[in-house]
Amino acid sequence: MSGRTSNIAVIALTGISLFLVSARDQVQADPSKYPEFAQQTLPANITPELIKVEELVAEIKAGAKPVIIDVRTTEEFHEVHILGAVSAPLGKFKEYLKSMPRDRPIVLY
């Protein structure tokens, strides 16, 4: 994960295996479920990187220690989440920004 700045590096995790969707099925976010976030844009100083689960696993095996953050609702987090992930629902996400480490990659899913 190169190109880091002093700002939080935001990495969107794609292809989450927890959802076990076949290749023929298409999964798209439903913006009507979270209308307050559907039209938001990232700050100019944040450029997300997309990473596949396999790439993240390889980086962790190579010694990377990312902070993995689940931005779904608390209820969804309690149903199932990635082991070691931190729950930071989108509605309260700004509160978590202050406490996030600046020296490690941040993975959001």
Mean pLDDT by 10 residues, the chain (109 residues): 43 42 46 68 78 90 93 90 90 83 88
| 65: its two tokens | 């220690």
Residue 3 lies in a domain: no
* Neighbour count for residue 11 (Cβ, 10 Å): 23
Residue 4 lies in a domain: no
| pLDDT value, residue 58 | 93
Beta bridge pairs of residue 51: 13
Q: What span, in angstroms and rounded, lies between the C-alpha atoms of 69 and 89?
A: 9
- Domain span at residue 47? 10-22+33-108
C-alpha closest to that of 5 among 44, 41, 40: 44
Beta bridge pairs of residue 86: 69
Residue 37 lies in a domain: yes
Residue 59 lies in a domain: yes
Residue 73 lies in a domain: yes
Residue 44 lies in a domain: yes
| pLDDT value, residue 24 | 38
Residue 67 lies in a domain: yes
Q: What is the CATH number of the domain that holds 51?
A: 3.40.250
The answer to whether residues 108 and 10 touch, using CB atoms and an 8 Å cutoff, is yes
The pTM of this model reads 0.62
| pLDDT value, residue 98 | 83
Residue 28 lies in a domain: no
| pLDDT value, residue 87 | 93
Q: Work out how many domains the chain is built from and give that number.
A: 1
Q: What span, in angstroms and rounded, lies between the C-alpha atoms of 60 and 54?
A: 10
Beta bridge pairs of residue 87: 70
